[in-house]
């Protein structure tokens, strides 16, 4: 599989597949393809896996596209302003990423749900609590909201970020939910109840905005019912 990411801030990744080569994607992500690409729709395994994808903000069903009778081409588009990142997954380097991040991948990549450590805090922690874990072997394409900023954390080094700011990190990092201290800070600070605490070692990719924060900014301008 060869690929090219085209355009920003609403990019697509255009993939070229050899005969018989396949890719899987969330349903609705294909934007154009050559006529020899064959599509099949399935639940991606067991019912439990399908329900896990829903919990991660993905569709219950996945589409698999296979090049038939020659080289094929297919393009997958992002759902929000930002960028598309190609990440190489192998058994020694699993990745944890925000829910809804998965766009498409080679068939050897597996997706599962990942929970931050403290369930009680995570219940109130918003989108940063439930995440995706990518394992297996192959190239995965992930959606990053806004602009991506990367940090390489050494063992024990920590970053405190908004719950929607963590786009992805190496699975070697420790991710937890941290309460914001002070009643006044919680009530009037506008930052919610919790932040996400990331501790190295590993590479961390942060995003400068998120779908959730964008929607919150639009709320005051939307017409109210009645």
Residue 16, Cα to own-chain centre: how many angstroms? 22
CATH number at residue 145: 3.60.160.10
Q: What is the mean pLDDT of the chain?
A: 82
Sign of CA dihedral 14, 16, 19, 25: negative
101 is a domain residue: yes
186 is a domain residue: yes
Q: How far apart are CA 92 and CA 115, in angstroms?
A: 20
pLDDT at residue number 48 = 54
pLDDT tens, 213-226?
666 666 676 776 65
- Of 96-105, 139-148, 173-182, the range with the lowest mean pLDDT is 173-182
Average pLDDT over residues 185-205: 72
Render 123-136 in DSSP notation, one character per residue.
Answer: HHSGGGTEEEEEEE
Which residue in this structure is represented by tokens 């991606």? 44
Higher per-residue confidence, 59 vs 122: 59
pLDDT at residue number 184 = 45
pLDDT tens, 92-135?
999 999 888 999 999 999 998 887 655 544 444 445 568 899 99
226 is a domain residue: no
Q: Are 99 and 145 in contact (CB under 8 A)?
A: no
Average pLDDT over residues 140-168: 93
135 is a domain residue: yes
78 is a domain residue: yes
14 is a domain residue: yes
Q: Is the pLDDT of residue 188 over 60?
A: no
Q: How far apart are CA 158 and CA 196, in angstroms?
A: 10
Helix H or strand E segment including 26: strand 22-26
**SS3 breakdown of the chain: % helix, strand, coil, rounded to 5?**
15, 50, 35
Provide the domain limits for residue 36.
Answer: 2-221
pLDDT at residue number 151 = 97
Q: What global pTM score does this model have?
A: 0.81
pLDDT at residue number 187 = 42
pLDDT at residue number 79 = 84
Secondary structure, 3-state, 55-88 = HCCCCCCEEEEEECCCCEEEEEECCCCEEEEEEE
Structural domains of the chain, count: 1
pLDDT tens, 72-90?
999 999 888 899 999 999 9
How many residues does this entry show for the chain? 226
């Amino acid at each position: 599989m060869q690929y090219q990411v085209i355009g920003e801030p609403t990019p697509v990744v255009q993939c070229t597949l050899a005969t018989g080569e396949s890719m899987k994607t969330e349903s609705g992500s294909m934007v154009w393809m050559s006529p020899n690409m064959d599509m099949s729709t399935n639940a991606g395994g067991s019912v439990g896996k399908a329900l896990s994808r829903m919990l991660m903000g993905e569709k219950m069903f996945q589409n698999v596209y296979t090049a038939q009778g020659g080289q094929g081409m297919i393009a997958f588009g992002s759902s929000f302003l930002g960028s598309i990142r190609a990440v190489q997954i192998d058994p020694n380097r699993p990745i944890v990423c925000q829910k809804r991040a998965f766009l498409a991948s080679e068939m050897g990549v597996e997706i599962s749900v990942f929970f931050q450590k403290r369930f009680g805090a995570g219940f109130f922690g918003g989108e940063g609590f439930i995440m995706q874990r990518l394992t297996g072997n192959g190239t995965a394409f992930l959606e990053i909201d806004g602009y991506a900023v990367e940090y390489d954390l050494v063992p024990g080094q920590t970053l405190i970020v908004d719950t929607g700011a963590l786009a992805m990190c190496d699975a070697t990092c420790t991710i937890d939910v941290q309460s914001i201290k002070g009643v006044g800070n919680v009530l009037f600070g506008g930052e919610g109840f919790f932040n996400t605490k990331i501790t190295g070692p590993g590479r961390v990719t942060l995003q400068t905005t998120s779908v959730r924060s964008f929607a919150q900014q639009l709320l005051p301008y939307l017409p109210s019912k009645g």
